[in-house]
Amino acid sequence: MINSSDLTLSAIGTDIKRKSADTLVLGVLKTDGKATVVASPFTSETTSSLEQSLTALGATGKADEVTLLPGVEGSKVKVLLVIGLGVAELAELTNEQLRRAAGSAARQLSNAKTAIFALPSDSVERVAAIAEGIALGSYRYENHRSTKSEKPVLAEAQIVTSVATSKDLPALLKRAAVLGRAVRATRDLINAPANVLYPESFATAVKDYSKSLPLKVTVLDEKRLAKDGFGGLLGVGGGSVRQPRLVKVEYSPAKATKHIALIGKGITFDTGGTSLKPAAGMHAMKSDMSGAAAVFQTVAAVAELGLNIKVTAWLCLAENMPGGASTRPGDVLTMFGGKTVEVLNTDAEGRLVMADGLAAASLEKPDVMIDIATLTGAQMLALGLRTAGIMGESQVTKDLVAVSDQVGELAWPMPLPEELRPSIESQVADLANIGERMGGMMTAAVFLNEFVGEVDGKKIPWAHIDFAGPAFNEGSAWGYTPKNGTGSQVRTLVAYAEQLAAN
């Protein structure tokens, strides 16, 4: 199920004459119509010759632009891959642009199992950004091809830097490798077809992957869900022969003083149920479990990094299908904890399974709860395909937006307008599962807020991440982001956990 190959990352000094690899990656920007190689490991004469060739070939230095050149004297590497840095001046280059350039180069490498990256890397922060970009860009999904590509996937990357001997680098390189592995594994789960990845097999994949980590996995099957009153999961998953699951994954170090609960939407395929979706584009609904994949790999990464914080992931898994036992519009479901919901649209199913997860997670009284879901098309209408919406308690929202900016994952804070709450009132139940159409992303969050528990009479600090657009890329690959499953938000959630553990 999760088959992404591993990757070795290391740092080397600036003298590469005796270093060998399949490809050497260089960075280029274009200033005043001339291509300029930056951080070149070669002599000024060799670098000038390379720049003349790049200018003659029309290299523009724009992001994602690759130019291939033959190796040069002074290097054992036979192929040079020159990646555009996307800026005109070196002083303008940010860590995220460097991360994207390294990731784009790694993604576009061909016939390279080993590579040396000679990009601007005069600080440990820049080396970390390059390493992370490489780890994110080195990805290929071929699990279901009868004939695999003969081109190798990058397995070893060496980063040329003047700070190669810094004592801080080993931990940063390990972190980059762990994050890259977690994101690639998330992509593997998202890209898996729904006849392979369904609630039961997803739960099995979680158990198998967790065996080598200090994680405790608990799986609630349909019988246990019925016994305990998880009406949202059962209502959404009832129409499928593949019955729902609630998977709880715990990382609980002995000295942890803080606890984060992560709740992920895991609709392994979403037809819309009785409120059937249009056929066009429905194949992408295998990605409706991206939230569950992200929270699972977040807790796995936190465990591998050994952070001193308790993290519990709740994977709310169901397949939303039309069938004889499907929920109908107008049906009333009793959610975990006792609240009742009138289902006015069965294609607003994600909030139903998430409500069960939020209510269950609340019983453990965590310090913070964060739920993440490909929840609404309204998110894409409001923020586009690359920017997630974050809403909820003000401080948690503010902190999440800040760390997302730090790691390079686009996010924007959204409000929870009080006037939207009356729109989810029901005539026959406590709540309705849809309300005001305008601002639908926020209406969905207002619904979820009803299931966030309290501790000593105060709501548990909570935030909701809607990443319907960023989770699955149906357009062209860019930077370190491939087509299809992206692994979005894993790095944000890990960085948030690191921040909370440090504080």
Structural domain includes residue 204 = yes
The model's pLDDT over 448-490, given as tens digits with 9 standing for 90+, comes to: 999 999 999 999 999 999 999 999 999 999 999 999 999 999 9
Measure the N-to-C terminal CA separation of the chain; round to a whole number of Å.
36
Closest CA to 266 of 199, 201, 217: 199
Q: Does 263 share its domain with 308?
A: yes
Is 80 exceeded by the pLDDT of residue 5?
no
Q: Does 282 share its domain with 148?
A: no
| pLDDT for res 279 | 96
Banded model confidence at residue 126, pLDDT cuts 50, 70, 90: very high
Q: Does 53 share its domain with 170?
A: yes
| pLDDT for res 434 | 98
Q: Does 218 share its domain with 145?
A: no
Structural domain includes residue 192 = no
Q: How far apart (Å, rounded) are the C-alpha atoms in residues 465 and 386?
A: 13
The angle formed by the CA atoms of residues 484, 291 and 384, to the nearest 5 degrees, is: 60
Q: Does 119 share its domain with 248?
A: no
Q: Which of 180, 215, 233 is the last residue of a domain?
A: 180
Q: Which of 180, 213, 245 is the last residue of a domain?
A: 180
Look at the pTM and tell me if it is higher than 0.95.
Answer: yes
Q: Does 307 share its domain with 171?
A: no
Q: Does 209 share its domain with 149?
A: no
Structural domain includes residue 185 = no
Q: Which helix (H) or strand (E) holds 170?
A: helix 169-191
Structural domain includes residue 113 = yes
Is 90 exceeded by the pLDDT of residue 34?
no
CATH number at residue 115: 3.40.220.10
| Number of domains comprising the chain | 2
The angle formed by the CA atoms of residues 77, 55 and 41, to the nearest 5 degrees, is: 35
Q: Which two tokens stand for residue 360?
A: 């269950």
Average pLDDT for 226-231: 98
Is 90 exceeded by the pLDDT of residue 151?
no
Closest CA to 459 of 449, 468, 444, 446: 449
| pLDDT for res 13 | 97
Q: DSSP per residue over 419-459, as a string?
A: GGGGGG--SSSSEES---STTHHHHHHHHHHTT--EETTEE
| pLDDT for res 31 | 84
| Calculated CA dihedral for residues 81, 86, 91, 94, nearest 10 degrees | -100
Average pLDDT for 240-251: 98
Q: Which of 180, 208, 229 is the last residue of a domain?
A: 180
Q: Does 171 share its domain with 206?
A: no
Average pLDDT for 317-335: 98
117: DSSP letter: E
Q: Does 346 share its domain with 427?
A: yes
Domain that holds residue 458: 197-502
Does 277 participate in catalysis according to the annotation?
Answer: yes
Q: What is the mean pLDDT of the chain?
A: 97
Taking CA atoms, 273 is separated from 130, 279, 416, in Å, by 44, 13, 28
Sign of CA dihedral 298, 303, 308, 314: positive
Structural domain includes residue 376 = yes
Q: Does 163 share its domain with 290?
A: no
| pLDDT for res 74 | 78
CATH number at residue 471: 3.40.630.10
Burial bucket for residue 324 (CB in 10 Å: 0-12, 13-18, 19+): exposed
Is 80 exceeded by the pLDDT of residue 150?
no
Structural domain includes residue 425 = yes
Average pLDDT for 346-352: 98
The model's pLDDT over 89-124, given as tens digits with 9 standing for 90+, comes to: 999 999 999 999 999 999 999 889 999 999 999 999
Q: Does 212 share its domain with 175?
A: no
Average pLDDT for 260-282: 97
| Calculated CA dihedral for residues 149, 151, 156, 158, nearest 10 degrees | -140
Q: Does 168 share its domain with 206?
A: no
Does 351 participate in catalysis according to the annotation?
Answer: yes
Active-site residue, from 30, 351, 386, 491: 351
Q: How far apart (Å, rounded) are the C-alpha atoms in residues 382 and 280?
A: 22
Q: How far apart (Å, rounded) are the C-alpha atoms in residues 209 and 217?
A: 10
| pLDDT for res 152 | 85
The percentage of residues in the chain with a pLDDT greater than 70, rounded to a whole number, is 100
Active-site residue, from 277, 339, 421, 459: 277
| pLDDT for res 3 | 84
Structural domain includes residue 187 = no
Which amino acid is residue 197, in one-letter code?
L
Is 80 exceeded by the pLDDT of residue 370?
yes
| pLDDT for res 307 | 98
Structural domain includes residue 401 = yes
Is 80 exceeded by the pLDDT of residue 4?
no
Q: How far apart (Å, rounded) are the C-alpha atoms in residues 115 and 492?
A: 28
Banded model confidence at residue 286, pLDDT cuts 50, 70, 90: very high
